[in-house]
Amino acid sequence: MRPDDVADAPLDDLLAAAAAIRDTTTGRRITYSPKVFIPLTMLCRDPCGYCTFAQPPARLDAPYLTPEQVLRITADGAAAGCHEALFTLGERPEDRYPVARDWLAAHGHASTVDYLAAMCDLVITETGLLPHANAGALLPDELHRLREVSASQGMMLESLDPDLACHRGSPDKTPERRLATLEAAGELAIPFTTGVLVGIGQDRADVVASLRAIAAAHARHGHVQEVIVQNFLPKAGTAMHAARPCPPEEYLWAIAAARVLLPASVHVQAPPNLSDDFAVLLAAGIDDWGGVSPVTPDHVNPERPWPALERLREVTEGAGFELAPRLTVYPEYAAAPDRWLADRLRFPVLDRSDAESLGRDHRWSPGDDVTPPPLLAGSPATTAAAATASPVGGAVREVLDGVLAGEEVGIPEIVTLFGARGREVAAVAELADTLRREAVGDTVTFVANRNINYTNVCTFKCRFCAFSKGPLSLNLRGKPYLLTLEDIAARVAEAWELGATEVCLQGGIHPDFDGDYYIDVTRAVKEAAPGIHVHGFTALEVTEGAKRLGEPLADYLRRLMDAGLRTLPGTAAEILDDEIRAVLCSDKVDTEEWLDAHRTAHAVGLRSNITIMFGSIEQPVHWARHIVRTRDLQKETGGFTEFVPLPFVHMAAPIYLQRKARRGPTFREALLMHAVARIAYRGAVDNIQTSWVKMGVEGSRQALRAGANDVGGTLMDENISRAAGAAHGQGMTEAEFQALVAPLGRTLAQRTTLYGRVPAPA
Ligand code: SF4
């Protein structure tokens, strides 16, 4: 539809055009911002004719909320899972009311904006909630001041009609002041929310002109993250109490006009609490419901409570969409912090982000002892047909249908699956579960093994690694150590006695090691327990070992094999994408070297596994590249035995402590890693392992319903994840694995490293 036709287009045509733009841009995903609403002051110098928010001093207990009140509201919000602290307030009350001036002076603040900045700072410091400052028409220096302490800001443009009766006597509502604020926000690179208030006396031409002015400002600066289209409703006690409410058709027209006239990159929001039937708003092209609070009322429209989150989800899903929480700053801006966020805000935003820069949807982090959310309701599907019965539509459904038709997923399809939300997650998991059953049946396997981390001294500086110590460091996390060959042999003998079939050898790259060290370790292990399977030495260790001896890698790997080595762990893969490795582990083997080490290992007769350490700084596209690169190698060599997702444990990781990484994947992301891998590796890698150390027992149980078939090792003692802060124990017994698997109605079996069965003791 041509922009010039918007004003007179038949409503159905306009709605269809708007919905089509939304569907192409944001698909089936509708976002909302879980927030608390903080009415910092309800005093205002403007007397807008529709407003019940602004009150005279006599009606208020105090001119401003105190810091204690602000903190109480935000603490409640933080506990309820909110991300946003929305500060809404009247405009420059100190210019009208002496009581406001006196209060500010008594509390050491020069202006309302000054106090607002102090409260934003307090909220970030004390609660981590992300302030969104909604302080009206501001001067550039005021916007700049607030940019330092808020993740985003907002001001409704409302209308460009200078003669509206409702704005008479309101100096902050002149079009010039509103447009100047919008422009200055762009010049200052502030992620900005603006919007139009429809039905306050303007005509369609004014709505179109307002939307075009917003689009023009966005074209200059790229800063308009969303446009709110709000409908006027008359309120008792206001000058407009008897005015006609914005007619529903006119409201739908305005929303659709916004979607058609604004660039597709600008999100369009309509509040769900201002329409009796808010489902219809979805048909007009919105992709966001705005802020919804589980703990505070809408102080601007107190007579219209926000719908409960469950109701919002029900309506959204009823219309064929999926709901996703976002931050106050939209993903496009959160993902480019150098341009859009002040230094002070970068980590608070990152810390609340998931891999798509949307809001984390639960408190769970890998390795902690928080119970993960139940993402898979009901019983598992038992047939492919049942897996297709879910009501999920859109791009995720298309990819799943392709898989059911036998297609192999590529990078774009894998990224689409990682974007699954709500019911889509269960649909992806169901299909993965079906593919798991077809590939390996219903048995859940484990291996009896012991990890031996022979040294924590390492010359490498991987920024996620909480395990390694510099050779001379004696820091709070413990002393550097190096086990002797006798220590290693004793631990192996003990593990063999306890029934272990595998020993897993990994450690730091000690400056004194040459390649012969690893051969000596392997020999010591085999001498201590000739029957034990030696699973050891990452691509980094063998590449370094060969390099330090000046020996071709293939020859070196053959010598390790002769000494008794049988499989290599895939660790050191982290994310097989050099863009990410440059940040996480710049001095380590690069992607090609990792792949080459495994290719060479497979060529000489060793087997290995694929791991992925995910959830620190990378995005789903990097996961997809990792999966496709390893799948390609598997097609070439067939040497991989399994895929092991290792969610990033953030608690003690240096890169997190330096405030440069997220707090691991969300549980949704961790679950999807198992499910998407099962789908993507179909026919290539049959075994998907879940790490109980990182996923926890309940998390592993859900992963077993989402494509995983293996629970990994008993470990006996596990040092690396605990060094990073993981709360789960040091070992699992067979009985504990039985308890993990029993509620799933599946059987547990002990396996060898190569997925043969270990006969039960006679
Ligand atoms: S991950 Fe491995 S190579 Fe990197 S610092 Fe830690 S121990 Fe060293």
Q: pLDDT digits over 149-186, tens only?
A: 999 999 999 999 999 999 999 999 999 999 999 999 99
Confidence of residue 391 (pLDDT cuts 50, 70, 90): confident
Q: Tell me if 157 sits within 8 A of 212, measured CB to CB.
A: no
How many A from CA of 132 to the centre of ligand 1? 40
Mean pLDDT of the chain: 93
Q: Coil, strand, or helix at residue 240? A: coil
With 80 as the cut, is the pLDDT of residue 250 above it?
yes
How many A from CA of 623 to the centre of ligand 1? 21
Confidence of residue 103 (pLDDT cuts 50, 70, 90): very high
What mean pLDDT comes out for the span 118-130?
A: 97
What mean pLDDT comes out for the span 743-761?
A: 93
Confidence of residue 386 (pLDDT cuts 50, 70, 90): very low
Torsion of CA 124, 126, 127, 129, to 10 degrees: -10
Q: Which residues pair with 230 in a beta bridge?
A: 197
Burial pattern 155-164, b for ≥16 Cβ within 10 A else e, equals bbbbbbbeeb
Q: Residue 129 — φ and ψ, nearest 5°?
A: -65, 150
User: Token digits for 134?
Assistant: 């909604």
With 70 as the cut, is the pLDDT of residue 380 above it?
no
Q: pLDDT digits over 582-640, tens only?
A: 999 999 999 999 999 999 999 999 999 999 999 999 999 999 999 999 999 999 999 99
What mean pLDDT comes out for the span 227-235?
A: 95
Q: pLDDT digits over 661-678, tens only?
A: 999 999 999 999 999 999
Burial pattern 644-676, b for ≥16 Cβ within 10 A else e, equals bbbbbbbbbbbbbeeebbbbbbbbbbbbbbbbb
With 90 as the cut, is the pLDDT of residue 505 above it?
yes
Torsion sign over Cα 137, 141, 142, 147:
positive
What mean pLDDT comes out for the span 430-436?
A: 97
How many A from CA of 277 to the centre of ligand 1? 56
Q: Tell me if 186 sits within 8 A of 142, measured CB to CB.
A: no
**Whose Cα sits closest to atom 3 in ligand 1?**
460
Q: What is the pLDDT of residue 148?
A: 98
Nearest atom, ligand 1, residue 540 CA: 3
Site residues for ligand 1, CB cut-off 6 Å: 458, 460, 462, 465, 467-468, 508-509, 540, 585, 588
Mutation pick for ligand 1 pocket among 509, 510, 574 (CB with most ligand atoms within 8 Å): 509
Nearest atom, ligand 1, residue 507 CA: 7
What mean pLDDT comes out for the span 431-456?
A: 96
C-alpha 731/C-alpha 716 separation (Å) is: 4
What mean pLDDT comes out for the span 316-335?
A: 97
With 60 as the cut, is the pLDDT of residue 388 above it?
no
**Whose Cα sits closest to atom 4 in ligand 1?**
462
Q: Which residues pair with 536 in a beta bridge?
A: 505
Q: Coil, strand, or helix at residue 402? A: helix
Percentage of residues of the chain with pLDDT beyond 70: 95
Q: What is the pLDDT of residue 674?
A: 98
With 50 as the cut, is the pLDDT of residue 81 above it?
yes
Nearest atom, ligand 1, residue 508 CA: 7
388-391 long-range contacts (CB < 8 A, ≥24 apart) are 388/431, 390/423, 390/426, 390/427, 390/430, 391/317, 391/320, 391/423
Q: What is the pTM of this model?
A: 0.94
Q: What is the pLDDT of residue 336?
A: 98
Q: What is the pLDDT of residue 274?
A: 86
With 60 as the cut, is the pLDDT of residue 755 above it?
yes
Q: What is the pLDDT of residue 473?
A: 46
What mean pLDDT comes out for the span 361-367?
A: 95
Q: What is the pLDDT of residue 302?
A: 74
Q: pLDDT digits over 393-408, tens only?
A: 899 999 999 999 999 9
Q: pLDDT digits over 484-497, tens only?
A: 999 999 999 999 99
Nearest to 713 by CA among 477, 490, 445: 445
Nearest atom, ligand 1, residue 458 CA: 8
Nearest to 622 by CA among 652, 659, 648: 648
With 80 as the cut, is the pLDDT of residue 141 above it?
yes
What mean pLDDT comes out for the span 244-261?
A: 97
Q: What is the pLDDT of residue 385?
A: 44
Percentage of residues of the chain with pLDDT beyond 90: 87
What mean pLDDT comes out for the span 69-92?
A: 95
With 90 as the cut, is the pLDDT of residue 55 above it?
yes
Confidence of residue 2 (pLDDT cuts 50, 70, 90): confident
Q: What is the pLDDT of residue 294?
A: 82
Q: What is the pLDDT of residue 419?
A: 98
